[in-house]
Amino acid sequence: MALVDIQQGEAVTAEGGILIARNAVSKGHKIAWRDIHAGESVVKYGVPIGKASSEIKQGDHVHIHNVLDITDELCTAYASAFRQRGGGEK
């Protein structure tokens, strides 16, 4: 996530590496840390927050134009996994 406004073409430091912003990204918005293929999960906070709706390149602005909201699908999967797991293990 951008902590400051980023200009197109700017070099961005994150998690010890450097990438080049392919689009302008406002603070609070997300920038792709690596290439994400269409249909692949978009991960933030260590969990999938959606699915790429088109090819996303490293340095792309990641938002509603290239991410599909799959919350309902995830909810159903989480609930069924929790029920199947049962109370024994954690």
Give the C-alpha separation, 51 to 13, whole Å: 25
Residues 13, 37, 83, 84: which binds another protein (CB under 8 A)?
83
Residues 36, 50, 52, 59: which binds another protein (CB under 8 A)?
50
Does 43 participate in binding another protein (rule CB under 8 A)? no
Buried/exposed 4-31: b ≥16 CB within 10 Å, e otherwise: eebeeeeebeeeeeebebbbebeeeebb
Binding site for another protein (CB under 8 A): 1-3, 26-30, 42, 44-45, 47-50, 62-64, 67, 69-72, 74-75, 78-79, 81-83, 86-87, 90
